Amino acid sequence: MLFNSLHFLVFFPVAIGLYFGVPARGRAPLLLATSYYFYLSWQPAYGLLLAGTTLLDYFSGVRMSRLATKPARRPWLYLSLASNLGTLFIFKYFNFFAAAAGELAALLHAPFMGPTLALALPVGVSFYTFQSVAYIVDVYQGKLPAEQNLGRFALFVAFWPQLVAGPIERGSQMLPQLRARHAFDYGRVASGLRLMAWGMFKKVVIADRLALLANPVFDHPHRFAGLPLLLAVAAFTGQIYADFSGYTDLARGTARVLGYHLVLNFRQPYLATSVGDFWRRWHMSLSGWFRDYVYIPLGGSRAGRARTQLNVFLVFLLSGLWHGASWTFVLWGALHGLYLVLESLTAPARTALGQRLGLPTRPGLQRALGTGSTLALVAFAWIFFRANSLPDAFYIATHLFRGWGHLPTAQLAAVVAGLGRHYVAELLVAAGAVLLLLISDYRAERGSVAAWLAGWPAAGRWAGYAGLLLAMLYFGIFGSSQFIYFQF
C-alpha cells in the first residue's frame, strides 16, 4: 500500500494500536504479520518470493555460523548470492540484457533470437535484496553473528516501514533493535508523527505538484525547447528530492513511533559543495552499501590512482544500473562517475585557481560557487534519470539553451496546463512550499530542526504543526501517486 493512500490511513492506526495493545512477547509476531500484509497488499504472489529469499538467507547464515573457516562457509555465501542476485537479474535485468544482446547481434549481422520474460517487477526487490546480501556477506566475513531466530530474521528482511524503498538497513544496526522491547513513549511517538507529517507534506504538497510541471515536458520533450525544458528539469530536481526524502521521513517516522531507529538517508544534499559531498548526503544507505560491498572489494583506493578512479566509475555505473534496467539509468550513473573522476583529477588545479582568486578569504562566496555548480551538474544528470529514452534525454540536454531569443508563450502555457485553471496560484503554492523546504534544510545544516523547534513557545509550535496539517489538507494532491523509488 502507499503511504499517501486511504488504505494506509486506516492501516497505520490499527497496526500501531494492536502493536502497543498486545503483550510485549506478542509484538514481534504481530509486526511480522503486519509487514507481510503491507507487502501482500501490492502483489500477493510475490510474497512467496520474499519468503523464499528470507528462508534461504536465514539457513545460509545459520549454516555459515557453524563453520569455522571462510573456505568452508564460501559455498553457502555463493548459494545465497546466486539466489539473491539471480532473482534480481531475472525480474529486473533479463529483458534489458536480452535486448542489448539482440542489438549487438544486429550490428554484427549475426542471427539472434533472444527470449523475453513477461514478469512484473516485485515492489522493493532491489532494496530487500541488497539488505539481505549485506547481511549474508557480513556473516560470511565474521563481522556479524548469524541470527538464529527465523521470525526475527524474517522481520529484519520484511520490516514494513522500510521494506519497499529503504533505507537499506544493516543487520548490525537493526537486529539488536528487533531483540529489544519497545514500550510506548509519548515523546518518541510524537516525534515520529511530526517526522511523518513533514514527509507527507514533502510528498503531496511539493513533489506531486512539481510533477505536474515536469511530466508534460518529459513525456513529450520534442514539443518544447529552451525555458520550458529548463523549468521541467528544475521541477524534477525538486520533485525527486521531495518525493524520495519524503518517503524516507515517513519510513523513519513510522519506525520511530514503533520504537525503532532507521538510519538517516538524506542530509541536505542540495547544499552540497561538490559532487563527492552530494553523494555523502544523498541516499546515504545505498552509497554506503556500494562503498562497503563493491568499492572496497574492488580495491578501493589501495591500488593506485588510476585504479581508484576506475573503481569509482564502475561503482557509479553499477549504481545507475541498480536504479533501472535502461540505458538512461546507466548513463546517469556514468555521468556521476565521470563527475567524481574529473573532480578528483582537477582538485589541485581548482584549489590553485581558488587561491589566486582569493576565495579562501571569502568562504561564503566559495561555498555558494561550490553549491551552485554542484546543483547544476546534479540537475543536468537528472535529465537522464527521468527521460523515457536516450533520444529524449539527448534532445532535452541539447535544447535547454535554444530558443531563448523569443520566449515560446504557447510552450510555457503547455507546461503549466497540468496545474489547472488556477495555475498562478498553484505556482505560488509550489514556490512557497519549495522555499519552506530550503529553509528547513538550511536550518538543519546549522543543527537539529527538532531541537530548534523545541525552543519555541508551545503555542508557536502547535500553531506550526496545525499550519502544516492544514496546508497538507488544503494544498495536498491526494491522487495515490506512488513514490518514485518504488519502481526500483
Catalytic center residues: 323
Q: Which residue has the cell 521470525?
A: 151
Cβ atoms 383, 394 nearer than 8 A: no
Q: Which residue has the cell 527538532?
A: 450
On the question of a cis peptide bond just before residue 167, with omega within 30 degrees of 0, the verdict is yes
User: Torsion angle of alpha carbons 243, 249, 254, 255, nearest 10°?
Assistant: 120
Cell of 311: 573503481
What's the distance, CA 432 to chain centroid? 24
Q: DSSP string spanning 210-225?
A: HHHHHHHHHHSGGG--
Cell of 91: 525480474
Cβ atoms 229, 379 nearer than 8 A: no
- Give the whole-angstrom CA distance, residue 443 versus residue 137: 38
Alpha helices in 70-110 (DSSP H): 70-88, 94-107
Closest CA to 137 of 89, 175, 84, 178: 84
Q: DSSP string spanning 302-335?
A: SS-HHHHHHHHHHHHHHHHHHH-SSHHHHHHHHH
Distances (CA, A) of 352 to 329, 355, 366: 34, 5, 13
Cell of 6: 486511504
Distances (CA, A) of 460 to 60, 112, 114, 455, 466: 54, 68, 64, 10, 10
